[in-house]
Amino acid sequence: MIERVFIRDLKNHIGRDVTLGGWIHSVRKQGRIVFILLRDRTGIAQIITEPGVVREQDLRNETVIYATGTVIEDERAEGGVELSMSRVEVLSAPRKKLPILVNDRAVFQKLELETVLNNRVLSLRNPKRNLIFKLQADIIDAFRTYLRGEGFTEVTTPKIIATGTEGGTQLFTVDYFDKLAYLAQSPQFYKQMLVGSGYERVFEIGHVYRAEAHNTSRHLNEYVSLDYEMGFIENEHDVMDVEEGFIIHLFERLNSEHASALDIFEQTLPVPSKIPRIPIREACVILEKEFTKRLKGYDLDPEGEKLICEWAKKNHDTELLFLTEYPLSKRPVYTMPLESNPEFTRSFDLLFRGLEITTGGQRIHDYQMLIDAFEARGLDHGDFDYYIDTFAYGMPPHGGLAIGLERITAQILGLVNVREASIFPRDRGRIIP
């Protein structure tokens, strides 16, 4: 079996013979010397060789090879080392003309997004695009690590469900044997039920599905949701406190472990010491006063989200902002009303760089209050007995939130379209690849 060395480790093997495995990223000839850039999952290395060592027909971009040779120092090469190749083994060569150029940064950046997504496997070989999902993987790990440290238990909940969690709208239907079922648009009910099961604090990283007709740069019909729910809270601010701690932890980790990726995407990620919190009604007053923008009802459109974040950056030196106390009519049925004004709720959104990335709040934990809330919305609470009955057996005050993984990834890296942050996106017109 070939003992393969990764490109990132070449500097530890100077003067030794090693074997690299990867894709040919580019080829350049200079006299009799052939310069090959080889790419593996850890980086790109320069290989030098002579024509007799490798056949010209084997030097096509994206050919998969094993390259064996001696590691030598050369300060001109990336990483200060290169491989003087003495032998090559072709594992797989392209059988079709490449539909996109992986190695040409200028050309790649000009590609239409649809072209990038239609050729997803090739587009992810581009070193810059490849970084997106390595960073995203660490967002997931940071979420998991932080919440475990805060006493949360990771759970997995069903994605085929009998009823919707938000009034039965925006649901994909499933032919479930002799019954009609739906794809889950949120793990909300199950999170709350598990709080009541005695776990107190739970989190989930899983796919959710929204049958929204939107076809915008902000929306996906299938995305990954980072959810948590926590019991024995005083109010929604306890939930925000945990998210604030997670954001600080995440940004510190990304700055430490992904500084090069942030540089490549020309992004800085200041770590907040505190994320400001303002009621949505106050935000609407600010928008009208500072930007002459009037909104119908207390809810922000995309432009309003961008403008209020501009205000937060100017006045609080932060790109993050909690908006709180949304109207009852704008929140799901299980949201806790504000005691001082029941037309509003103990809920919040977190905006980041002009986009809502989180929705959360305190939930109703009183059995009769929850039944009344369902009836006030014209919903038959009998359809939700499996959920509501949980509250008849004792439920602590609790709340939680959901973070859109693709949205927070896109905002961290400055991506224009959220689909760029979905590894195989599903939107209104796309179900392949």
Domains assigned to the chain? 7-92 (2.40.50.140), 127-421 (3.30.930.10)
- Give residue-wise pLDDT tens across range 234-259: 999 999 999 999 999 999 999 999 99
From 224, 242, 167, select the one nearest 357 (Cα to Cα).
224
Residue 280 has φ and ψ, to the nearest 5°, of -60, -35
Distance separating alpha carbons of residues 26 and 63, to the nearest angstrom: 10
What's the confidence (pLDDT) of residue 164? 75
How many Cβ atoms are within 10 Å of 422's Cβ, its own excluded?
Answer: 24
CA distances from 315 to 39, 67, 276, 310, 334 (A): 45, 56, 10, 9, 34
Judge whether 123 and 100 are in contact, CB under 8 Å: yes
Q: How many CA atoms lie within 13 A of 213 on its CB side?
A: 1
* Tens-binned pLDDT, residue by residue, of the chain (433 aa): 778 999 999 999 999 999 999 999 999 999 889 999 999 999 999 999 988 898 888 899 999 999 999 999 998 888 899 999 999 999 999 999 999 999 877 767 789 999 999 999 999 999 999 999 999 999 999 999 999 999 999 999 999 998 876 655 689 999 999 999 999 999 999 999 999 999 999 999 999 999 988 888 999 999 999 999 999 999 999 999 999 999 999 999 999 999 999 999 999 999 999 999 999 999 999 999 999 999 888 989 999 999 999 999 999 999 999 999 999 999 999 999 999 999 999 999 999 999 999 999 999 999 999 999 999 999 988 889 999 999 999 999 999 999 999 999 999 999 999 999 999 999 999 999 9
pLDDT for residue 192: 98
Cβ-Cβ contacts under 8 Å for 132 (sequence gap 6 or more): 409, 413, 415, 420, 421
Q: Distances in Å between the alpha carbon of 156 and those of 78, 96, 120, 128, 247?
A: 44, 42, 28, 32, 23
Q: Is 233 helix (H, G, I), strand (E, B) or coil?
A: coil
CA–CA separation, 79 and 100 (whole Å): 27
CA 271 to chain centre: 18
The pTM (predicted TM-score) of the whole model is: 0.95
Please give the pLDDT value at position 297: 84
Across-strand partners of 69? 18, 85
Angle at 309 between CA 330 and CA 280, to 5 degrees: 30
Q: Is the bond preceding residue 433 a cis peptide, omega within 30 degrees?
A: yes
Taking the C-alpha atoms of residue 310 and residue 20, their distance in angstroms, rounded to an integer, is 48
- Six-digit token pair at 144? 């998991």
C-alpha–C-alpha distance, residues 254 and 250, integer Å? 6
Task: Kindly tell me the burial class for residue 433, based on how many C-beta atoms sit within 10 Å of its own C-beta (0-12, 13-18, 19 or more).
Answer: exposed
